[in-house]
Amino acid sequence: MTRSRKARLLRLLATLLFLALPAAAQAPLPLPPEDHAGWQAIGRVNTRGYNRRGMCSGTLVAPALVLTAAHCVAGPEGDPVDPARLHFVAGWLGGGYADHAQVASYEAHPEAYRGHRLDIEHDLAVLTLARPLTVAPLTLGRTSAPPFALLGYHDTQPNRLSARFDCDGAREHALLRLGCPVRPGNSGGPVLAREPGAPDAPWRVIGVVSATNARSTLAVPVDDWLRTRLTRGSPYTP
């Protein structure tokens, strides 16, 4: 298969996955409130204010850097969103939060949009906050073996973090296909994994949620562009 044909098929697949999500699809389960303290680096990427309902999910990966999906900061044609409309709220729970900040700027993956169309294989973006947060960031990992975890906020539980820690999955071309569906709002949220054979090891960010249907989720693995970007701006790169 040629590269251009594969790209067209992946873009079509992404569109179908976004549109195919039924209202009754099983979503990640609400995280018990007492467990939120361990996941405060995950938050809502909101538009037009800190508590508005237009949202994606995102992960603090350095004191002032948030990892999310490129399609969360661009319109349907890839037109950039004004950073002044974006706000990150870490650890959002029922109106409370661990910390928050305005987005000062952002950088989408340089290959995320080709000809004003999303290339799902590079659906990554890094947000630079107006100030560092006091929340401990999550670190990046390299493992791509199950079980995987999915955490984030979605349309039926917008004020409470939801999670799954038992997702199977495998690489499919340049993407990860996970056996757990998600919902609108989970886009940009982290995919996490542990080192194989180390059940007590910390969960590390190994990908970003991009699209879903009623049965599975497509995620973009952490790549060299992201690692290089964090090397420039973060002491937290493994």
| Residues 95-102, mean pLDDT to the nearest whole number | 95
Under 8 Å CB-to-CB from 60, ≥6 apart: which residues?
41, 42, 43, 66, 88, 90, 133, 135, 137, 138
pLDDT on residue 135: 97
Q: Give the whole-number percent of the chain exceeding pLDDT 70.
A: 81
What DSSP assignment string belongs to 32-89? Answer: PGGGGGGGTTEEEEEESSTT-S-EEEEEEEETTEEEE-GGGGB-TT-PBPPGGGEEEE
pLDDT in tens, 110-163: 999 877 788 999 999 999 999 999 999 999 998 888 999 999 999 888 999 999
pLDDT on residue 26: 55
Instruction: State how far the Cα of 97 lies from the Cα of 208, in Å rounded to an integer.
Output: 22
pLDDT on residue 18: 45
197 pLDDT more than 80? no
Given a contact cutoff of 8 angstroms between Cβ atoms, the answer to whether 65 and 126 are in contact is yes
7 pLDDT more than 60? no
Q: Give the whole-number percent of the chain exceeding pLDDT 90.
A: 58
77 pLDDT more than 80? no
pLDDT on residue 50: 52
Between 17-21, 45-49, 65-69, the lowest mean confidence (pLDDT) is in 17-21
pLDDT on residue 187: 93
pLDDT on residue 30: 85
Please provide the average confidence, as pLDDT, over all residues in the chain.
84
pLDDT in tens, 81-98: 889 889 999 999 998 999
pLDDT on residue 214: 72
| Residues 8-30, mean pLDDT to the nearest whole number | 49
195 compared with 160, residue with greater pLDDT: 160
136 compared with 228, residue with greater pLDDT: 136
| Residues 215-235, mean pLDDT to the nearest whole number | 82
Instruction: State how far the Cα of 86 lies from the Cα of 232, in Å rounded to an integer.
Output: 22
21 compared with 213, residue with greater pLDDT: 213
| Residues 63-89, mean pLDDT to the nearest whole number | 87
